[in-house]
Structure 1
């Protein structure tokens, strides 16, 4: 089998395949795959591979490679200098690199950010959860879950070719620029509910600038601060961008506070921020070629008229389809609404790109009966699983249904979802398996303190939640001391409502007793770094971060791993069939440990040792409702006290200028 030797790796060269790691969005595993799928698929076409075959993605600069046998390759994507044994070679065409010759892929030029190398027969890599794509944050896929380094040796897979190699024609090549137009569909969260009409006008008329702090998780943009159509997010948080957690779409424009970020293929699957528009599937390749300093214009298109992502020709190569667009859908992202069969709850169907529908239940409140309806709908859809269905991702009061738009049109999906919802039983009948998982918690852990310090030094030093998140939580909830915060967290029993809130099986959980529901706002802007398995509160929810990465929840401590990186090897508490520890409707109970004890427990878990106490049980919505009824007076009194404290905190923010509208650009 032919070997590829890496003489120079380049700054960020990884193995990817297409469409990547799908069908695991509901547990926080992003698809990964090529950020510019168009160039990647065309490179494979040039060498005769099936278009999804594993190849290399190179960021800013390509590698220097040598091959043990004669090998056919093709280089696509951003313009670069390509040489074979120092002799110039063209892009977009099959090239034969003879045994011992050196293929050198240079630095990306003035336009474009990523370059792709396809090898006839593909590049060998271990399959993980159905894909060979590298997810560097999760440390899996590709070459040991990391970018390539000098001295690596890769194997050519030697798979059968699909077609004869051929040159990619000029009208097939993606047109790169430094002033981009992105086709977007309206929704899921637009005007007038979340943004003002003037905000949306700004969104479409403003050339946003690509910020240098951008990567495969998301492209950060610089542009005008929204005016916002509401004053805050209620139980979801004090900032008007805050909502109860729901699933995201790749390509969504996510406002993390006032900062707009285009979510990439390594982005989070679940979160609590609004997204006014979503880049169409056919235009998402452009995210992979956006360079710092480039400008971006959002152009609304009608979902039904969006180009097909299956097209590898002229319909996707440039801004032609956008310029000729007749404009976007004038529905604020809402496709329709119905009532549940018992007439008690409004069901709203929101557009989330041309490949997702976000089904929302009821008002924007925390109500476990709404999560029960979400669960019932997911079970109903999964029972049929129509052709084209890719993912079902539940949020707090919503279910995102992701499809392949080339196999299942959004209008057909909408009609079918309405029919499915009408067939559901009453939510009060919900009884589900519910384990109690006992986890250690290092209170106010040094790693979380470090994250706050990094945030103050590199992002924002004057935030109301700095320098100590726990004190901020105390103030937000009208408690007498931080000891009260400690007592409530350890007394609470947290019900897991979602998985993958900031990646890899990370639970979004809520205390079953409303008197334990500490409510905070999320960071604005979000942190750029969070330690793995930090525990935080955002809105009324608690999350355990599945891995290092960005985040916005207020820290209370740190715990042990919720994702088994030793999979498929067994580890205490983990099911050998999958690497995530927790399940929907599990209950979490914390027990205190010191920071040093936690480090020992984390080392044991990483080595496959240690124990996790798990008690079997069930959760009955009817029983929970009886508990709420019995304690209604005390619950209402506690909630009123917390609301007064939040109002006072909000007034302090207002007095300090935290909510002031800035007409200039913000990072």
Structure 2
């Protein structure tokens, strides 16, 4: 019989995590999760002889009190400095026997550092979900029943055979002032920020906001200096972009607020990313505590590669403090390294438009991602289809080392293991694949017609609006998002917003926008493209399956969590994780969605049936081609042009009212 770990007191939020997290699901909005401070996790795991893929505990504020029913080696690290075994201090990095029946009290985690880690020899043997034991609390899966641990929980321990040899480890130091190495870009000056604004971004000492968790770390500092007045069809604020995938560690500007994407963060969104944390420093994000100060130091890709190599050496020799120093501090520059400034690295591939190929660039997004961006910074379905064709070509010729392939509206993000596939080599392959793609204007894509019920003005949507009024009561979209949409689109009556949403056929152009298979979709008919903006700052709470509009895009929120789209109603689940479903995401790229209005009571029944698996989404086979949209635009050109002009004027007038 396997050993067991029993939780006597759970602490504030203690979860089971592993050191690797999930891979291969970023394109449908499933975050990697795993230990936020993966360096400390790997070191305390090594201390007791565990590989990084086995389960351990992560905790914040106050750690758990626990016991085991058999003797096991244990080690703690991170912010866990006051841990005891039966009242005797257990120092970070120290390996000691936790005898059967003895009590390990991790104690308070009151800084420096934010998170503590507990490794038990053999690991925690919870089931793998989507390839990992890690808990994703917001999604409700992984770990122990997808949640934080509670008093009385019993967690099975893994077997002790095939263990590595226990090791003495040297843990990274904690403090309240941090240097975070980043690679500038993929976005920057002068396209999005002014050169002076970009310099200020890197010169500022930022403060960690109290709204910092595993989804993202908000930073407090000066308002960015933008080089443009708005995001066009992507939204009223200059931070708004046509939806593009984020790397973990990417620093997005959510409105005027920098937010560093965490291990439970969103994969797809519509905000500018002026810098990305290097992989060797991502562990620091898990230890940033509200009130801590952070300096962003720009480094070159060569320096990032050297830092990651130093980290790898330290994990191979975890007792050597010299190898740790090299892995957690900026390396010496080499003659091969170009001095780093605030400017993003040059594009690895840059090509002009040629025939049916749009102009595109391929540039680093940090040190383990490439970002392909195609066409001008505007919505173009032909470009979207070209991105899809390029993504499919890469999937068909996928080299070893490609970890994630995530489609955006006019972009493609590819995550790689650089030890197997250097970014420059992958960029060259993508450039070659781009030359052989079919004409996106004539491509016919397999799709489905999907009918979703929607309850307009759903009470939960209004609850989210009311909650936000305590954050920013003077926001122009408070207290009623629908009235704001009406005003900014120059509609005569509030119900016209609902009429347009119900009349539209929405084309899914992205998945995982705000997590778990959530679609970002655009009306096929340009006459149905309502234009609005995203919240600034974003909401901290949105009900699951709320339906919102941001820019010209509509989104169905895959789960409860933060968000920024203007809410109009609620629909049924678009994600269902169950043993009978081989694929938990229920929508697909280029699905054609129609909404059918129902009452809140009718929606509650439909939601329960979908969630329980008693019914499925109503679908039928269909196709999509850009030529369909071109035909609509030609047939209704005399109506579309003045409609766009009127909405643009209303858009400008609304922005002028903000400054009045």
The answer, yes or no, to whether TM exceeds 0.5 is: yes
Q: Which runs of 5+ in 1 are unaligned?
A: 570-575, 656-667
Q: Do residues 328 (structure 1) and 340 (structure 2) align?
A: yes
- 1:209 is matched with 207
In 2, the alpha carbon distance for the partners of 1:613 and 1:109 equals 51
Distance change >3 Å, CA 416–CA 330, structure 1 → 2: farther
2: CA distance, partners of 1:7 / 1:609: 38
- Structure 1 distance, partners of 2:160, 2:620, is 47
Displacement of 1:94: 2.2
Partner residue of 1:318 out of 325, 328, 332: 328
Match of 1:568 in 2: 579
Cα distance, 1:159 vs structure 2: 5.4
In structure 2, distance between residues paired with 1:642 and 1:31 = 40
- Show the counterpart of 1:21: 22
2:284 pairs with 1:286:
yes
Cα offset, 1:129, TM superposition: 0.8
Q: Is the 8 A contact 2:506 2:524 kept in 1?
A: yes
What is the match of residue 598 of structure 1? 603
1:36-47 alignment to 2 at 5 Å?
Answer: 36-47=37-48
The TM-score normalised by the length of structure 2 is 0.95
Larger mean CA deviation between 459-468 and 598-607 belongs to: 598-607
Deviation at 1:91, TM superposition (A): 2.2
CA contact (8 A) 1:183 1:322 kept: no
Per mean C-alpha deviation after superposition, the further-off stretch among 593-602 and 154-163 is 154-163
Q: 1:12-40 CA deviation, whole Å, 9 max, x = no partner?
A: 11011122011100000000000000000
1:443 aligns with 2:456: yes
Helix, strand or coil for the counterpart of 1:321? coil
> Which of 555, 563, 567 lines up with 1:551 in the alignment?
563
**Please, what is the CA RMSD of the aligned residues?**
1.7
Q: 1:330 to 1:612 in 2, by over 3 A?
A: closer
Match of 1:573 in 2: none
Query: Aligned residue pairs: how many?
Result: 644
Q: What corresponds to 1:572 in structure 2?
A: none
Q: Could you say which residue in structure 1 is the equivalent of 2:260? A: 262
Structure 2: tracts of 5 or more residues without a match: 316-322
Structure 2 contact 54–133 (Cα < 8 Å) conserved: no
Q: 1:334 and 1:641, CA in 2 relative to 1: closer, same or farther beyond 3 A?
A: farther
Q: Which residue of 2 is the match for residue 507 of structure 1?
A: 519
Match of 1:364 in 2: 377
- Is 1:607 aligned with 2:612? yes
Residue 439 of structure 1 deviates from its aligned partner by 0.6
Structure 1 range deviating more: 182-191 or 316-325: 316-325
Query: Within 1, Cα distance between the matches of 2:185 and 2:312?
Result: 23
Whole-angstrom distance in 1 between the partners of 2:117 and 2:382: 48
SS in 2 for 1:428: coil
Alpha-carbon offset, residue 341 of structure 1: 4.5
The aligned counterpart of 2:318 is: none
1:42-100 CA-to-partner distances (Å, cap 9, x unmatched) read: 11111111123211111122211111011111112124112111122232132111111
1:297 has 2:309 as partner: no
Give matches, 1:242-641, under 5 Å. Answer: 242-306=240-304, 307-308=307-308, 310-311=312-313, 312=315, 313-314=323-324, 317-321=327-331, 327-328=339-340, 331-335=343-347, 336-342=349-355, 345-457=358-470, 459-565=471-577, 567-569=578-580, 576-641=581-646
Q: 1:92 to 1:523 in 2, by over 3 A?
A: same
Q: 1:633 to 1:471 in 2, by over 3 A?
A: same
Distance in 2 (alpha carbons) for counterparts of 1:165 and 1:110 = 27
SS in 2 for 1:211: strand
2:59 aligned counterpart, secondary structure: strand
Q: Deviations over 1:225-279 (max 9, x none)?
A: 0120101000011110011000011111111101111110000000001110010
The Cα of 1:109 is off from its aligned counterpart by 4.0
Q: Return the offset for 1:628.
A: 2.4
